[in-house]
Amino acid sequence: MGYVDVAGVGHTLPDGRELFAEVSFRVGEGAKVALVGPNGAGKTTLLRMVAGDLPVRTGAIARAGGLGVMRQFIGMIGDDSTLADLALSLAPPALRDAGRRLAETEAAMRAAEVRGKYSTAAGKAQLAYADALAAWGEVGGYDAEVLFDTVATIVLDLPWDAVRERPVRTLSGGQQKRFALELLLRGPDEVLLLDEPDNFLDVPGKRWLEARLRESGKSVLYVSHDRELLAQTADRVVAVEGGSAWVHPAGFASWHEARVARHARLDELRKRWDEEHQKLRELMLMYKQKAAYNDGMASRYQAAQTRLRKFEEAGPPPVPPKDQDIRMRLTGGRTGKRAVIAEQLELDGLTYPFDLELWYGDRVAVLGANGTGKSHFLRLLARGGTDPDPANIPVDGAKLAPVAHDGVVRLGARVRPGHFSQTHDRPELMARTLVEILWRGDEHRAGMDRHAAMAALSRYELAGQGDQRFGTLSGGQQARFLVLLLELSGATLLLLDEPTDNLDLASAEALEAGLNAFEGTVIAVTHDRWFTRSFDRFVLFRGDGEVVEMPEPVWDVA
């Protein structure tokens, strides 16, 4: 039986700010409980505390059953990590330790044999490897290899021995997520913690995840911003907002209505508290005035003081959390009529040659299954195309890896691309604070003084994180800040790779409003069914290598 009990938990940030307090809820056996709330409210932090990654200094967390954890950016465990590393990182602790020891002793044995096959060192290395092999079997390593093989065959259509040393970075984000989810859902752990498991999944993948969560007997606590997935899977909703959390005992379909009713109830309770506080204060002041010239009133004055003090010590009821007010001012600029021209463009091993012409002002959604070349296409455009015009200086494009291709893709006059990566892979920003990044600027953006930087951060609800390092932000906060950098860059062609994956509802709506006002061309790779409705052109990368334009969104095409 697997469960999680969270009782009175609080967390304080390193700078002394209280992130949340008095958070209590239970994930019972087989329950599917969703954590929702604004970006930066503490959802990922709470998951990390349940997982044991962060200490619990206030309150208590109890767990039963094996614990499987999938973190927000599942594949980011090292540039040279392999699928075997990823599989072990998701395995139970004993299996993980035995697997790492086995890999280390095998490498040491091979190195010793190269120096001398029959040397004493080689013999010791062989014995260490034999011990590690025995330990691997004792903790269930061979059963795990059967599971790894099953998952590799399902996700990559190849046996485990053929892919175990494959670098994780060669898989798309969706393949990484599907691989991890298959391992956890089929594995022995009875409790799963999933941080945005739907990110990077295509629509068929999201539908698969919805079905697997519904049919699974595991207890699952997860974070997601995909409203359809939440509506299809959540038994209960834990809303992390306003410095604490509250539990909605039903599904997501009724959560919005419950939240409105709760806020109205809190407003009424606070109004009544303020009225009672005022009455007690006036009563105390009246007795104080009377006690000044009538000693018989002193006891009543002291009693009124005591009553007021106890009332104030009990404290007022919580006020409803303030709704987010995010204002994205994506301005852009006028460009030539033709923004993107592709002629017999072929992405090596991904697509057949295709032609495409996009015009200034187009809003283009790029759809299709994972691994069909959509992100490669965006990266090629972000580098300025196949023959960049010196007048069209790529925004951050020079930092992107080359894309193997044939054919030609050109950008129109005055088209300056700005690229948003789905993985937020900006290592040059990780150790810098937001204010520092805006203050210093770079070759693509002029710097600004602290006052202007804080004003810009305030529009994105990031003023409180101004002196926080980019690498310590939540995924949604990172996404909002990267959109701000695009706003400041002067880009006239926005290339957005899954921009809503980590954004909460308010942020996603602000992004949609900003794109509607943007003077330029927008190309977005997305699996967000709601976000896709705001576009007017739809380019489909099919699984058979064909790239075609469709009159409306299409999801289930091989």
How does pLDDT run across 81-97, given as a tens digit for each residue? 889 989 998 888 889 88
> pLDDT at position 398, please?
45
With a cut of 60, say whether residue 104 has pLDDT above it: yes
Whole-number Å distance between alpha carbons of 189 and 218: 8
d(CA 511, CA 326): 9
Rounded to an integer, what distance in angstroms lies between the CA atom of residue 127 and that of residue 384? 56
Distance CA 389, CA 400 (A): 17
Question: Which residue has tokens 């965006």?
Answer: 378
The answer to whether 524 and 501 have CB atoms below 8 angstroms apart is no
- Mean pLDDT comparison of 118-132, 201-215, 308-322, highest-scoring range: 201-215
pLDDT score of 337? 93
Which residues of 348-384 form beta strands (DSSP E)? Answer: 354-359, 363-368
Q: Which amino acid is at 458?
A: S
What is the arithmetic mean of pLDDT over 17-41?
91
Q: What is the mean pLDDT of residues 113-127?
A: 72
The confidence score (pLDDT) of residue 103 equals: 86
Given a cut of 70, whether residue 167 has pLDDT beyond it is yes
**pLDDT averaged over every residue in the chain:** 87
pLDDT digits (tens, 9 = 90+) for 427-441: 888 888 999 888 876
* Average pLDDT, integer, range 128-138: 88
pLDDT for 393 beyond 60: no
Over the stretch 327-351, which tens digit does the pLDDT of each residue have?
Answer: 788 888 888 899 999 999 999 989 9
Per-residue exposure over 366-397, b if at least 16 CB sit within 10 Å of its own CB, e if not: bbbbbbbbbbbbbbbbbbbbbebeeebebbbb
pLDDT tens track for 474-483:
778 898 899 8
Q: What is the pLDDT of residues 400-416, one digit of tens each?
A: 667 888 999 999 999 99
What ranges in 78-202 are assigned the alpha helix state H?
A: 83-89, 93-115, 120-138, 141-156, 160-163, 173-186
Averaged pLDDT for residues 68-80: 69
Question: What span, in angstroms and rounded, lies between the C-alpha atoms of 121 and 128?
Answer: 11
Highest-confidence range of 55-59, 390-394, 507-511, by mean pLDDT? Answer: 55-59
Return the pLDDT at 10: 94
Q: How far apart are CA 475 and CA 463, in angstroms?
A: 16
SS3 19: strand
* pLDDT interval class at 557 (50, 70, 90): low
What does the pLDDT look like over 245-302, one tens digit per residue?
999 999 998 998 998 898 889 889 999 999 999 999 999 999 898 888 888 888 999 9
pLDDT band of residue 380 (cuts 50, 70, 90) is very high
Phi-psi group of 133: left, alpha or beta (phi > 0 → left; psi -120 to 50 → alpha; rest → beta): alpha
13 Cβ contact partners less than 8 Å away, ≥ 6 residues apart: 19
Average pLDDT over residues 443-468: 82
Q: For the chain, give percent helix, strand, coil, nearest 5.
A: 45, 20, 35
The residue-averaged pLDDT of 186-194 equals 93
Task: State the pLDDT at residue 216.
Answer: 94
| pLDDT value at residue 383 | 86
- pTM for this entry: 0.72
